Chains A and B, each alone.
Chain A
Amino acid sequence: KAGVTQTPRYLIKTRGQQVTLSCSPISGHRSVSWYQQTPGQGLQFLFEYFSETQRNKGNFPGRFSGRQFSNSRSEMNVSTLELGDSALYLCASSLQGTSYEQYFGPGTRLTVT
């Protein structure tokens, strides 16, 4: 069974621009969570989607948003990019909403200049 895939793997954007990252969960997984990883703050939860609905949200500004499609694929969007948004963005999927074993993709490395 294929793992979690994320596209693109690397991205360079300019401050003020917006970006969309994509995540395809493991087949059959319905829950998708997004995390931001930085050297200073570590792994921090952004939000979780289950059955196309945002079920949990972390402490990030409204510039960070996401959505989930009927096939469980998910996208996250960051508008008005800031230098501090440079990070590894990780997507994780789990089988159902009650299974907390999350399986991560390789991440998208976003660099904001």
Chain B
Amino acid sequence: GQQLNQSPQSMFIQEGEDVSMNCTSSSIFNTWLWYKQDPGEGPVLLIALYKAGELTSNGRLTAQFGITRKDSFLNISASIPSDVGIYFCAGHFGQGGKLIFGQGTELSVKP
């Protein structure tokens, strides 16, 4: 079945640093989404990507849909303490509402 490999699994960075994480798959996806989840809460949608090569920003966050449609990355610039959480990539293919999720990247930011 379709699987997403998300890396790194965890990151521990200093406040102000830039962060990069990515997802790769052996399968093609038509849509890539990036979510952030805080403890005890549901994932919050950060960015949605619909076209191969698309580069989209949301504040300090920038995400790209890979040209091959098999990968995506998320960058966070100038990290702040509230960026702490778990970031998930998710891919969609075909009809209906089934998303395939990566295993998550846990981000810790040291003030």
> Chain A interface (Cβ within 8 Å of chain B)?
4, 31-33, 35, 42-45, 48, 50, 55-56, 58-59, 90, 92, 94, 97, 100-107
Proximity string of chain B (20-56) to chain A, C-beta cutoff 8 Å, 1 when within and 0 when not: 0000000000010101000011111100100000000
Q: Which of B41, B43, B45, B103 has the most CB of A within 10 A?
A: B43
Taking the complex as formed, is B87 at the interface, i.e. its CB lies under 8 A from any CB of chain A? Answer: no
Q: How far is the CB of A74 from chain B (nearest CB, A)?
A: 12
B97 touches A48 (CB 8 A): yes
Q: Tell me the interface secondary structure of chain A in the complex.
A: strand
Complex A-B, nearest 6 residue pairs according to Cβ-Cβ distance, in ascending order:
A104-B42, A43-B101, A48-B97, A56-B96, A33-B97, A100-B92
Set of chain A residues within 8 Å of B45, measured between Cβ atoms: 101-104
Is B66 an interface residue when CB atoms closer than 8 A count as contact? no
In the complex the two chains form, what is the Cα distance from A90 to B95 in whole Å?
A: 20
**Shortest CB–CB separation between residue B53 and chain A, in angstroms?**
18
Write out the residue numbers on chain A whose beta carbons fall within 8 Å of the beta carbon of B60: none
Interface centre among A43, A100, A104 (most CB of B within 10 A): A100
A45 touches which of B33, B41, B88, B99 (Cβ 8 Å):
B99
Centre residue among A4, A31, A43 by max chain B CB count within 10 A? A43
* Chain B nearest Cβ from A35, distance in angstroms: 8
Within 8 A of A (CB), among B77-110: 88, 90, 92, 95-104
Nearest CB in chain A: distance from B102 CB, A: 8
- Residue in A50, A101, A105 whose CB lies within 8 Å of B96: A50
Name A55's closest neighbour in chain B (CB-CB).
B96
Across-interface contacts of A102 in B (CB, < 8 A): 33, 45, 97, 99
Give the docked Cα–Cα distance between A47 and B8 (Å).
Answer: 29
Query: What are 16 contact pairs spanning A and B, CB under 8 A?
Result: A4-B42, A33-B97, A42-B102, A45-B99, A48-B96, A48-B97, A48-B98, A55-B97, A56-B96, A59-B1, A90-B43, A101-B33, A101-B45, A102-B33, A104-B45, A105-B42
